[in-house]
Structure 1
Amino acid sequence: MIFWAVIISLGAAYVVQFLLTMMQMKNFNLNFRDLRRMGRVAIGKKKGGFVAGSIAMFAIDDKGIILKGMCLSGVTVLARFKEFNDLNGIDIATITKDHVKSYSKQVQKSILDASSNYITITSGGSIEDPKSPFEKVAGSIRKVATQK
Protein backbone atom coordinates (compact mmCIF):
# COMPACT_ATOMS: atom_id res chain seq x y z
CA MET A 1 0.00 0.00 0.00
CA ILE A 2 2.82 2.43 0.87
CA PHE A 3 4.57 1.51 -2.38
CA TRP A 4 1.60 2.70 -4.46
CA ALA A 5 1.28 5.90 -2.41
CA VAL A 6 4.93 6.68 -3.14
CA ILE A 7 4.49 5.93 -6.86
CA ILE A 8 1.37 8.10 -7.09
CA SER A 9 3.10 10.92 -5.17
CA LEU A 10 6.10 10.81 -7.51
CA GLY A 11 3.80 10.81 -10.53
CA ALA A 12 1.86 13.80 -9.18
CA ALA A 13 5.11 15.68 -8.48
CA TYR A 14 6.27 14.99 -12.04
CA VAL A 15 3.01 16.31 -13.49
CA VAL A 16 3.15 19.47 -11.35
CA GLN A 17 6.80 20.05 -12.35
CA PHE A 18 5.87 19.59 -16.01
CA LEU A 19 2.99 22.09 -15.78
CA LEU A 20 5.12 24.69 -13.99
CA THR A 21 7.87 24.25 -16.59
CA MET A 22 5.34 24.79 -19.35
CA MET A 23 4.19 28.00 -17.64
CA GLN A 24 7.78 29.24 -17.45
CA MET A 25 8.36 28.40 -21.13
CA LYS A 26 5.21 30.33 -22.02
CA ASN A 27 6.51 33.32 -20.03
CA PHE A 28 9.83 33.11 -21.92
CA ASN A 29 8.09 32.93 -25.29
CA LEU A 30 5.79 35.88 -24.55
CA ASN A 31 8.68 38.08 -23.44
CA PHE A 32 10.88 36.99 -26.34
CA ARG A 33 8.07 37.77 -28.80
CA ASP A 34 7.60 41.24 -27.28
CA LEU A 35 11.32 41.99 -27.56
CA ARG A 36 11.47 40.53 -31.07
CA ARG A 37 8.79 42.99 -32.20
CA MET A 38 11.14 45.81 -31.18
CA GLY A 39 14.13 44.51 -33.16
CA ARG A 40 16.81 41.88 -32.89
CA VAL A 41 17.24 40.04 -29.60
CA ALA A 42 20.47 39.13 -27.85
CA ILE A 43 20.19 36.38 -25.24
CA GLY A 44 22.68 35.33 -22.58
CA LYS A 45 22.34 32.60 -20.01
CA LYS A 46 24.08 31.25 -16.96
CA LYS A 47 22.99 27.83 -15.82
CA GLY A 48 22.56 27.47 -12.11
CA GLY A 49 22.23 23.85 -11.04
CA PHE A 50 21.76 24.19 -7.29
CA VAL A 51 22.15 27.98 -7.32
CA ALA A 52 20.00 30.52 -9.13
CA GLY A 53 20.30 30.42 -12.90
CA SER A 54 19.79 33.49 -15.04
CA ILE A 55 18.68 34.45 -18.54
CA ALA A 56 19.09 37.97 -19.90
CA MET A 57 17.40 39.13 -23.12
CA PHE A 58 17.90 42.46 -24.85
CA ALA A 59 15.96 44.07 -27.70
CA ILE A 60 18.57 45.85 -29.80
CA ASP A 61 18.36 48.10 -32.83
CA ASP A 62 20.35 47.71 -36.06
CA LYS A 63 23.36 49.47 -34.51
CA GLY A 64 23.45 47.22 -31.42
CA ILE A 65 21.97 49.79 -29.03
CA ILE A 66 19.87 48.26 -26.25
CA LEU A 67 16.22 49.28 -26.41
CA LYS A 68 14.89 47.12 -23.59
CA GLY A 69 16.20 44.43 -21.25
CA MET A 70 14.48 41.51 -19.53
CA CYS A 71 15.98 39.16 -16.96
CA LEU A 72 14.88 35.89 -15.41
CA SER A 73 16.74 34.76 -12.32
CA GLY A 74 15.90 32.04 -9.86
CA VAL A 75 16.28 28.48 -8.70
CA THR A 76 12.75 27.21 -9.35
CA VAL A 77 10.35 27.14 -12.26
CA LEU A 78 8.36 29.83 -10.46
CA ALA A 79 10.88 32.52 -11.56
CA ARG A 80 9.52 35.00 -14.10
CA PHE A 81 11.07 37.65 -16.35
CA LYS A 82 11.44 41.16 -15.01
CA GLU A 83 12.18 44.28 -17.01
CA PHE A 84 15.31 46.30 -16.29
CA ASN A 85 16.23 49.53 -18.02
CA ASP A 86 19.63 50.34 -16.52
CA LEU A 87 21.42 49.37 -19.72
CA ASN A 88 19.03 51.00 -22.22
CA GLY A 89 20.86 53.21 -24.73
CA ILE A 90 24.18 51.37 -24.35
CA ASP A 91 25.85 49.53 -27.23
CA ILE A 92 25.58 45.85 -26.27
CA ALA A 93 29.04 45.12 -27.66
CA THR A 94 30.63 47.57 -25.21
CA ILE A 95 29.12 46.18 -21.97
CA THR A 96 31.77 45.51 -19.34
CA LYS A 97 31.79 44.32 -15.74
CA ASP A 98 31.55 47.94 -14.61
CA HIS A 99 28.15 48.28 -16.31
CA VAL A 100 26.69 45.27 -14.45
CA LYS A 101 28.30 45.45 -11.01
CA SER A 102 24.98 46.32 -9.33
CA TYR A 103 23.46 42.93 -10.28
CA SER A 104 23.89 39.49 -8.72
CA LYS A 105 26.77 37.35 -10.02
CA GLN A 106 24.50 35.06 -12.03
CA VAL A 107 22.73 38.01 -13.67
CA GLN A 108 26.08 39.68 -14.37
CA LYS A 109 27.29 36.52 -16.11
CA SER A 110 24.14 36.21 -18.23
CA ILE A 111 24.35 39.89 -19.31
CA LEU A 112 28.02 39.52 -20.22
CA ASP A 113 27.15 36.27 -22.05
CA ALA A 114 24.51 38.14 -24.09
CA SER A 115 27.13 40.73 -25.03
CA SER A 116 29.64 38.02 -25.93
CA ASN A 117 27.03 36.13 -27.98
CA TYR A 118 26.16 39.30 -29.87
CA ILE A 119 29.81 39.97 -30.69
CA THR A 120 30.34 36.35 -31.79
CA ILE A 121 27.28 36.29 -34.07
CA THR A 122 27.95 39.69 -35.66
CA SER A 123 31.53 38.63 -36.43
CA GLY A 124 30.25 35.53 -38.25
CA GLY A 125 30.93 32.93 -35.57
CA SER A 126 28.62 30.40 -33.99
CA ILE A 127 27.76 29.79 -30.35
CA GLU A 128 28.24 26.38 -28.79
CA ASP A 129 26.23 25.41 -25.73
CA PRO A 130 28.36 24.41 -22.76
CA LYS A 131 28.33 20.74 -21.90
CA SER A 132 25.78 19.50 -19.39
CA PRO A 133 27.01 17.75 -16.22
CA PHE A 134 26.00 14.40 -17.76
CA GLU A 135 28.02 15.12 -20.91
CA LYS A 136 31.04 16.08 -18.79
CA VAL A 137 30.84 12.83 -16.79
CA ALA A 138 30.35 10.78 -19.96
CA GLY A 139 33.36 12.51 -21.54
CA SER A 140 35.51 11.76 -18.48
CA ILE A 141 34.47 8.11 -18.51
CA ARG A 142 35.13 7.89 -22.24
CA LYS A 143 38.58 9.44 -21.74
CA VAL A 144 39.48 6.95 -18.99
CA ALA A 145 38.14 4.01 -21.01
CA THR A 146 40.21 4.87 -24.09
CA GLN A 147 43.50 5.43 -22.24
CA LYS A 148 45.99 2.57 -22.41
Structure 2
Amino acid sequence: MIIYFIIALGLAWLLQSIFGFWQIRHFNRTFAEYRRLGRVAVGKRTGLFRAGTVVLFVIDKRNKILKASKMQGVTVFSRVRPLPGFEEKYLLKIGPEELAPHDRLTKMAIEDALRTFDIVTKGGDIPPKKTPLQKLMNLYTKKRGET
Protein backbone atom coordinates (compact mmCIF):
# COMPACT_ATOMS: atom_id res chain seq x y z
CA MET A 1 0.00 0.00 0.00
CA ILE A 2 2.81 2.44 0.83
CA ILE A 3 4.45 1.76 -2.53
CA TYR A 4 1.31 3.07 -4.29
CA PHE A 5 1.46 6.23 -2.19
CA ILE A 6 5.12 6.76 -3.12
CA ILE A 7 4.36 6.18 -6.80
CA ALA A 8 1.40 8.60 -6.66
CA LEU A 9 3.58 11.19 -4.94
CA GLY A 10 6.27 10.75 -7.60
CA LEU A 11 3.75 11.10 -10.41
CA ALA A 12 2.26 14.23 -8.83
CA TRP A 13 5.75 15.75 -8.53
CA LEU A 14 6.54 14.86 -12.16
CA LEU A 15 3.27 16.35 -13.39
CA GLN A 16 3.83 19.53 -11.38
CA SER A 17 7.36 19.80 -12.81
CA ILE A 18 6.07 19.48 -16.38
CA PHE A 19 3.36 22.10 -15.84
CA GLY A 20 5.89 24.39 -14.12
CA PHE A 21 8.22 24.03 -17.10
CA TRP A 22 5.40 24.97 -19.49
CA GLN A 23 4.53 28.00 -17.36
CA ILE A 24 8.13 29.23 -17.30
CA ARG A 25 8.49 28.61 -21.04
CA HIS A 26 5.32 30.63 -21.71
CA PHE A 27 6.57 33.48 -19.50
CA ASN A 28 10.02 33.48 -21.15
CA ARG A 29 8.51 33.55 -24.64
CA THR A 30 6.23 36.43 -23.67
CA PHE A 31 9.17 38.30 -22.12
CA ALA A 32 11.29 37.78 -25.26
CA GLU A 33 8.42 39.07 -27.41
CA TYR A 34 8.09 42.14 -25.18
CA ARG A 35 11.85 42.79 -25.35
CA ARG A 36 11.54 43.03 -29.14
CA LEU A 37 8.95 45.80 -28.64
CA GLY A 38 11.04 47.89 -26.22
CA ARG A 39 12.39 47.99 -22.70
CA VAL A 40 10.55 45.93 -20.10
CA ALA A 41 10.00 46.92 -16.47
CA VAL A 42 9.24 43.89 -14.32
CA GLY A 43 7.80 43.86 -10.82
CA LYS A 44 6.90 40.94 -8.65
CA ARG A 45 5.20 40.09 -5.43
CA THR A 46 5.75 36.49 -4.52
CA GLY A 47 3.63 34.55 -2.12
CA LEU A 48 4.61 31.36 -0.36
CA PHE A 49 1.09 30.08 0.29
CA ARG A 50 -0.88 32.72 -1.60
CA ALA A 51 -1.03 33.99 -5.16
CA GLY A 52 2.14 35.42 -6.59
CA THR A 53 1.99 38.29 -9.06
CA VAL A 54 4.39 39.39 -11.78
CA VAL A 55 3.75 42.53 -13.83
CA LEU A 56 5.41 43.46 -17.11
CA PHE A 57 5.43 46.94 -18.64
CA VAL A 58 6.79 47.40 -22.17
CA ILE A 59 8.01 50.99 -22.45
CA ASP A 60 9.43 53.16 -25.20
CA LYS A 61 12.38 55.57 -25.03
CA ARG A 62 10.24 58.23 -23.32
CA ASN A 63 9.01 55.72 -20.68
CA LYS A 64 5.54 55.60 -22.21
CA ILE A 65 3.85 52.26 -21.56
CA LEU A 66 3.18 50.40 -24.80
CA LYS A 67 1.86 47.22 -23.25
CA ALA A 68 1.05 46.07 -19.71
CA SER A 69 0.56 42.48 -18.58
CA LYS A 70 0.45 40.44 -15.42
CA MET A 71 0.72 36.83 -14.37
CA GLN A 72 -1.08 36.05 -11.14
CA GLY A 73 -2.04 32.86 -9.42
CA VAL A 74 -1.21 30.11 -6.99
CA THR A 75 -0.94 27.26 -9.47
CA VAL A 76 1.17 26.41 -12.49
CA PHE A 77 -1.87 27.15 -14.65
CA SER A 78 -1.54 30.95 -14.34
CA ARG A 79 -0.58 32.67 -17.59
CA VAL A 80 0.47 36.15 -18.69
CA ARG A 81 -2.67 38.20 -19.33
CA PRO A 82 -3.27 41.86 -20.30
CA LEU A 83 -3.28 44.42 -17.49
CA PRO A 84 -5.77 47.10 -18.57
CA GLY A 85 -5.58 50.80 -17.79
CA PHE A 86 -1.87 51.48 -18.27
CA GLU A 87 -1.30 51.77 -22.04
CA GLU A 88 -0.24 55.22 -23.25
CA LYS A 89 0.58 56.38 -19.70
CA TYR A 90 4.06 57.24 -18.51
CA LEU A 91 5.62 54.63 -16.24
CA LEU A 92 7.08 57.06 -13.72
CA LYS A 93 3.80 58.98 -13.47
CA ILE A 94 1.70 56.04 -12.32
CA GLY A 95 -0.19 57.20 -9.27
CA PRO A 96 -2.88 56.07 -6.85
CA GLU A 97 -5.68 56.65 -9.37
CA GLU A 98 -4.17 54.07 -11.76
CA LEU A 99 -3.53 51.61 -8.92
CA ALA A 100 -6.99 51.93 -7.32
CA PRO A 101 -8.88 49.37 -9.44
CA HIS A 102 -6.31 46.63 -8.83
CA ASP A 103 -5.94 44.13 -5.99
CA ARG A 104 -3.32 44.50 -3.26
CA LEU A 105 -0.81 42.02 -4.72
CA THR A 106 -0.97 43.65 -8.14
CA LYS A 107 -0.43 47.08 -6.58
CA MET A 108 2.61 45.77 -4.70
CA ALA A 109 4.02 44.21 -7.89
CA ILE A 110 3.52 47.49 -9.80
CA GLU A 111 5.25 49.42 -7.01
CA ASP A 112 8.12 46.90 -7.19
CA ALA A 113 8.38 47.46 -10.96
CA LEU A 114 8.54 51.23 -10.42
CA ARG A 115 11.16 50.89 -7.68
CA THR A 116 13.25 48.45 -9.72
CA PHE A 117 13.03 50.61 -12.85
CA ASP A 118 14.11 53.68 -10.86
CA ILE A 119 17.13 51.86 -9.40
CA VAL A 120 18.23 50.45 -12.76
CA THR A 121 17.86 53.76 -14.65
CA LYS A 122 20.05 55.45 -12.04
CA GLY A 123 22.73 52.79 -12.59
CA GLY A 124 22.21 50.98 -9.31
CA ASP A 125 21.99 47.31 -8.47
CA ILE A 126 18.81 45.69 -7.26
CA PRO A 127 19.42 44.30 -3.78
CA PRO A 128 18.53 40.60 -3.48
CA LYS A 129 15.54 39.86 -1.31
CA LYS A 130 16.09 37.70 1.73
CA THR A 131 14.86 34.14 1.62
CA PRO A 132 12.59 32.82 4.39
CA LEU A 133 15.59 30.91 5.81
CA GLN A 134 17.70 34.09 5.90
CA LYS A 135 14.89 35.94 7.70
CA LEU A 136 14.65 33.11 10.22
CA MET A 137 18.41 33.17 10.80
CA ASN A 138 18.32 36.96 11.31
CA LEU A 139 15.62 36.50 13.95
CA TYR A 140 17.70 33.84 15.66
CA THR A 141 20.87 35.95 15.71
CA LYS A 142 18.99 39.01 16.99
CA LYS A 143 17.54 37.01 19.87
CA ARG A 144 21.01 35.77 20.78
CA GLY A 145 22.38 39.31 20.68
CA GLU A 146 24.78 38.73 17.78
CA THR A 147 25.21 41.20 14.94
Q: Same fold (TM over 0.5)?
A: yes
Q: CA deviation at 1:146?
A: 6.5
Q: CA deviation at 1:135?
A: 2.1
Q: Which runs of 4 or more aligned residues in structure 1 lie more than 2 Å from their structure 2 counterparts after TM superposition? A: 138-147
Q: Does structure 2 retain, via aligned residues, the 8 Å contact 1:96–1:112?
A: no
Q: CA deviation at 1:81?
A: 0.6
Question: Which residue of structure 2 aligns with residue 60 of structure 1?
Answer: 59
Matched, 1:45 2:49: no
Distance 1:146 1:4 in 2: 48
Question: Which residue of structure 2 aligns with residue 35 of structure 1?
Answer: 34
Among the aligned pairs, what percent are the same residue?
Answer: 31
Question: Which residue of structure 1 aligns with residue 23 of structure 2?
Answer: 24
- Normalised by the length of structure 1, the TM-score is 0.91
Q: CA deviation at 1:44?
A: 0.1
Distance 1:31 1:18 in 2: 20
Q: Deviations over 1:79-124 (max 9, x none)?
A: 1110124111111112123211101111111112111111111111
Q: Name the aligned partner's letter for residue 57 of structure 2.
A: F
Q: Name the aligned partner's letter for residue 90 of structure 2.
A: D
Q: CA deviation at 1:140?
A: 2.6
Question: Which residue of structure 1 aligns with residue 90 of structure 2?
Answer: 91
Over aligned residue pairs, what C-alpha RMSD do you find? 1.7
Question: Which residue of structure 1 aligns with residue 69 of structure 2?
Answer: 70
- Normalised by the length of structure 2, the TM-score is 0.91
Q: CA deviation at 1:142?
A: 4.2
Q: Name the aligned partner's letter for residue 134 of structure 1.
A: L
Q: CA deviation at 1:8?
A: 0.9
Question: Which residue of structure 2 aligns with residue 129 of structure 1?
Answer: 128
Q: Name the aligned partner's letter for residue 70 of structure 2.
A: C
Question: Which residue of structure 2 aligns with residue 9 of structure 1?
Answer: 8
